[in-house]
Amino acid sequence: MSIFKARVKEFEDVLAGPQDAIDLNQLRKLAFNGVPDVQSFRALSWKLLLGYLGPRRSSWTTTLAQKRALYKQFIEELVLPPGHSSNGASVDGGDGDKVDSGGVGLQDHPLSEGPESAWNTFFNDNEFLLQIDKDVRRLCPDISFFQQPTDYPCEIVVHSKGEHGRRLHERVVPAVLSSANVERKGLGMTKQINLITKRSVENYAAMEEGQEAHWEVVQRILFIYAKLNPGQGYVQGMNEIVGPIYYVMASDPDLSYRAHAEADCFFCFTALMSEIRDFFIKTLDDAEGGIKFMMARLSNMLKSKDLTIYELLRSQELHPQYYSFRWLTLLLSQEFPLPDVLRIWDSVFADEQRFDFLIKICCSMILIQREAILENDFASNVKLLQNYPPIDINVVIAHAGSLA
């Protein structure tokens, strides 16, 4: 039996064995070394490792049904224009006013500017929706996937019957972005965000009535997340976190799962964001889970592993935030091609300490480039670390695994 077939058999035994309870410790061990890109192994493993599904297989049907129904409710309440529901039923027009799906209450007239007006909220959403729209139209430009139509469009959105606003991109009104919208909460420096933005300037086109592209689905996921988390909202870079998760869910060979990729992705993304949300909030930078703390851990590891490189970068004043801010905040999603990112995330999600191994990978990325870094000046090293050269990702992961 080949090594690959043996690994597939190991995953089959854990994920599809006769026992009701999944052995999460065994799954972590297997996934840490990479999930075979066959069957539904990766999608199912990530759902389990991120806590979306519990270890008992008998609970999955109920969990999935409840979560997917809840997500449909989010779409109806947060995405559809005020005064409209998916089934044409009457909805609350504010202050107890009942309206049918074709009308609005006094509090919810489109010209109402009252703070409680659903229409006022609807129009104010444009500010962060504009940024989401820009970001998702440039997602993973090295592959065509996000530009392609999904086989499972959201029916209550794509069949608008001439009604404007069900499709989020139709709502976007070009405007000057306020700095708070594109920056991490409280950051106050666009320079930091420039370290995040590294994508193509090409914009993806929207689909015709009745269809939607994968990027439009991702846009809706991010919009709903921002609406449900107003204290954090949408921050540039979240699109790079949700992209790989959605790709895995929407590429599931099991069509019964693929049909629900949007809802499943939303809850997996939300679970992951609950662990890394501190990376996106300036006031928590110095907290144990904050980005400054993470960058300091990386610096300390580099210092202990290779003092010469550490001192050189220090003498060149090449501060960790010039490169590792983006590496850590976006879980290396912009440094490597998507298949390599999926392989990295297998290990990161399987890591019980979660981000310990991420730091080791980042440290290895520097150590592997030791000779070039020693020869380079400041400008060349910045370019090297901000545009990491092509490499076999297994070499990086193996190197990281050797670090104590």
pLDDT at 185: 44
| CA distances for 221 relative to 164, 245, 379, angstroms | 19, 11, 38
pLDDT at 181: 40
pLDDT at 389: 97
The CB density around residue 227, as the number of other CB atoms within 10 Å, is: 18
| Overall residue count recorded for the chain in this entry | 404
What is the enclosing helix (H) or strand (E) of 248? helix 238-250
Rounded to whole angstroms, how far apart are CA atoms 240 and 97?
41
pTM of the model: 0.86
The dihedral through the CA atoms of 23, 24, 26, 30 has a sign that is positive
Given CATH 1.10.472.80, say whether it is the number of domain 282-402: yes
Q: Which residues pair with 91 in a beta bridge?
A: 99
User: Tens-digit pLDDT profile for the chain (404 aa)?
Assistant: 788 999 999 999 999 888 899 999 999 999 999 999 999 999 999 999 999 999 999 999 999 999 999 999 999 999 988 766 555 443 343 333 333 333 334 344 454 455 556 666 766 788 789 999 999 998 988 889 999 999 999 998 988 766 766 888 888 765 544 433 444 444 333 334 344 445 455 577 778 888 999 999 999 999 999 999 988 899 999 999 999 999 999 999 999 999 999 999 999 999 999 999 888 876 665 666 688 989 999 999 999 999 999 999 999 999 999 999 999 999 999 999 999 999 999 999 999 888 999 999 999 999 999 999 999 999 999 999 999 999 999 999 999 999 97
SS3 for 98?
A: strand
Q: For the chain, give every domain's residue range.
A: 40-82+114-175+208-276, 282-402
pLDDT at 126: 80
Q: Which amino acid is at 152?
A: Y
pLDDT at 270: 97
The CB density around residue 145, as the number of other CB atoms within 10 Å, is: 17
DSSP of 318-367: --GGGTHHHHHHTTTTTTS-HHHHHHHHHHHHH-TTSSHHHHHHHHHHHH
pLDDT at 90: 36
pLDDT at 283: 63
Joined together, the tokens standing for residue 81 give 């224009």
Q: Are 235 and 184 in contact (CB under 8 A)?
A: yes
Q: Are 195 and 321 in contact (CB under 8 A)?
A: yes
Q: Which amino acid is at 310?
A: Y
pLDDT at 94: 36
16 CA to centre of own chain: 28
pLDDT at 53: 97
**DSSP 8-state code for residue 254:** -
> Could you give the maximum distance between any two Cα atoms of the chain, in Å?
71
pLDDT at 107: 43
Rounded to whole angstroms, how far apart are CA atoms 347 and 340?
11
> For the CA atoms of 105, 111, 114, 117, what is the dihedral angle to 10 degrees?
50
pLDDT at 5: 93
Of 130, 370, 102, the closest CA to residue 233 belongs to 130
